[in-house]
Each structure stands twice: as structure tokens, then as C-alpha cells.
Structure 1
Amino acid sequence: MAALAVPTATQLLGCSSAHAKDDETLVTIADARSGIAQPVDLGAQGDSPGDLFVFDQPLLNEARENIGSNSGYCVRTLPGQFSECQWTLTLADGTITVAGREAETGTSYVPIVGGTGSYQGVRGVLATTPNGDRTFTQVLTIQR
């Protein structure tokens, strides 16, 4: 029996590692210790599908200095494990919006869906990791 050639995701999507040299990295910290962080219990009492979490929090740089805001919402899809989220990082020179699935624990990779100002037309991915102190390190890999 002949082996089948299975295309990789890179081949299917027409991506190449050549784009990596053009990527920019931006590291931010979302600070859920202050600002708005409001759960909205809509389904069965407690953590259930359809519950919302709405937030508008300070956005910090690696030195923990305020550089903007981190605002958005999440809809619980799988209690205790996953939510579908959309949020916007607002910086002095524009905004970056991300949307996708975020895990309750560990690092989540959320697509960058666009931006404004200096970030108009960007794409890429945001890796968000909880730090255990109600802050989240967000590493954005931005492609222009």
C-alpha cells in the first residue's frame, strides 16, 4: 500500500517560516487586580455555559508601568476549562483586538484579528499566561 502524502498546516495555509523575520514581539501584562472584572451569572447558578465575564483593566509593560487598558468579555463555553473571548489592548499609538478560545489554566494562544492606529492591518497571535497573582503576561507576535 502506498503512503499518502499529508500536507502540513503550513502548506495548507500557505505560510512559511520566512515571515518570522518580519514578526514583532510586544510583551504586556493585563492587571486583573484593579479595574473592572465582573462575572455575570446567566445560566444555572455557578460556573455554567453562557456565563459572562466583563473586564476593563490596566495594561502594563514588563516594568509594571501603566501603558493602556485591556478591555473585553468572555463567554463561558466549557465550565472550569474554556471560554470564548474578545478583548482590545488600547495603547497610546492604537489598539490591537484579539478573539478566540482561552483556557482557564496554562497558556492560551488567541488570534490577533486587527488593530487601529499604528496597528492597522496587523495579524498574528497573542499568548496569554496567568501569573498566579491575578495578572496575565500577554506576548503578542505581530505580523504586518
Structure 2
Amino acid sequence: MMKTGRQRMRHAALATGAAVVVSLTLSGGGPPGGRQDHTQAPAPPTVSKDGGSQAKDAPVRGGRTIRVTANLQVGEELDLGAQGRSVGDQFVFSGNLRSRPGDRPVGRFGGFCVINDLQRNAGECSLTAVLEGGQIAVQGEQAGIPTPSPVTNAITGGTGKFRNAHGQMTLRVLTASTWELTFHVTGH
């Protein structure tokens, strides 16, 4: 693969990182590389009684809504099989989760997508979100890579306080490397 093709794929991967998430894990989080800043613990998502747009962790009928900002730190598109974009190529991504842009991390996320439809530039994705107290797993299709449109995918399970989780996650692209993830969690 030519160097310019690799750079183009890396840019495309960064632009679609959150949109192609297949498995989302949310954990206690922290700075990249496992470094911990002992001056202040990560702030937990905030709770709002009205469930408005500022709500980060608000109750909903039969469950709760968790809204976080995902900051992509790693986004790598893997050219597998035939040279150039082809079925089976993958996009692998990870980063931090924050209550609001600019806040300290409250968790992390990671995942991958496998391209399965060249005409629609779509793929099957998994994303894992790691938050304090457990993980939430998400799976579904994302179309429009590298400029994804909003998508809603299924919450397929979790661990810890999310061990019986189901529901759905909505992804909305704010910038190429910043997305808003909204988890509507039931059964936790």
C-alpha cells in the first residue's frame, strides 16, 4: 500500500472512529497510557432531574440515560485482503470519555468496525465503554464512513453495575475526533 493511501485511510479512520464502534467499554478511566493524576479523582457523570440536554447521567422511564463526550485518541484503518477499500477492512479506535468537552476523563472507550458494504461505505461495529462500576457493550451497523451520520445501536450487555444492561446507544458526531454518546440503559 502506498504511503499516501495509508495516510488517507488513517484520516478516514479518525473521522469515523466513533461511528464505527462495534464494542464499547466504559471503565474508571484515567489519563492515556495508564498514568494517574493523584491530585483529583475523575468527576462522575452529573445527574439532572429534568433529563435535559445537559444531563450526563439522568433517570429515564425504566432505566437511565448516560451522556458522555468521546475523544478519539487512536484511530487506525487496516487495509486487509485486496489493496484499497474492500470488504473485510477494519477500523480500530479508542479514547477517553468525559462528562463535557474539556472535563477530566470519566472513563474510556474502544472498539472496531468491519467494512461489509462498499456501496454504502458501511460496516458492522462493536464498542465497549468503561465507566466507574462497570462496562457497557454496544453493537450495530454504521454507514457513511468516513463522514458518519447519527446512528443508534443496541446495548448488548455489560459488567458490574451494568451486568444486566440492555437498551440503545446513540452516537452523534460533533467533530472528526469528538462524538457525543448517549446510552439509554435499562435492566441494569
Q: Same fold (TM over 0.5)?
A: yes
Higher relative contact order, chain-length normalized (CA < 8 Å, sep 6+): 2
Structure 2 unaligned runs (5+)?
1-59
Structure 1 unaligned runs (5+)?
1-19
Q: 2:167 aligns with which of 112, 124, 138?
A: 124
Q: TM-score, normalised by structure 1?
A: 0.78
Question: Is 1:45 aligned to residue 83 of structure 2?
Answer: yes
SS of alignment partner, residue 48 of structure 1? coil
Q: 2:128 aligns with which of 76, 88, 102?
A: 88
Higher relative strand content: 1
How many pairs are equivalent?
123
What is the letter of the counterpart of residue 108 of structure 2? Answer: S
Q: 2:98 aligns with which of 49, 52, 60?
A: 60
What corresponds to 1:29 in structure 2? 69
SS of alignment partner, residue 161 of structure 2? helix
Q: 1:112 aligns with which of 145, 155, 169?
A: 155
Q: 2:109 aligns with which of 59, 67, 70?
A: 70
Please, which moves more after superposition, 75-84 or 87-96? 75-84
In angstroms, what is the RMSD of aligned CA positions? 1.6
Aligned partners of 1:59, 1:103: CA distance in 2, in Å? 23
Contact 1:30/1:70, CA 8 A, preserved across alignment: yes
The structure with more radius of gyration: 1
Q: 2:142 aligns with which of 102, 112, 117?
A: 102
What corresponds to 2:30 in structure 1? none
Please, which moves more after superposition, 60-69 or 84-93? 60-69
Q: TM-score, normalised by structure 2?
A: 0.61
Q: Deviations over 1:49-80 (max 9, x none)?
A: 11011112111222442111111111011236
SS of alignment partner, residue 131 of structure 1? strand
Structure 1 consecutive aligned stretches of length 4 or more whose deviation exceeds 3 Å: none
What is the letter of the counterpart of residue 155 of structure 2? Answer: I
Contact 1:29/1:64, CA 8 A, preserved across alignment: no
Aligned partners of 2:111, 2:70: CA distance in 1, in Å? 12
What is the letter of the counterpart of residue 81 of structure 1? Answer: N
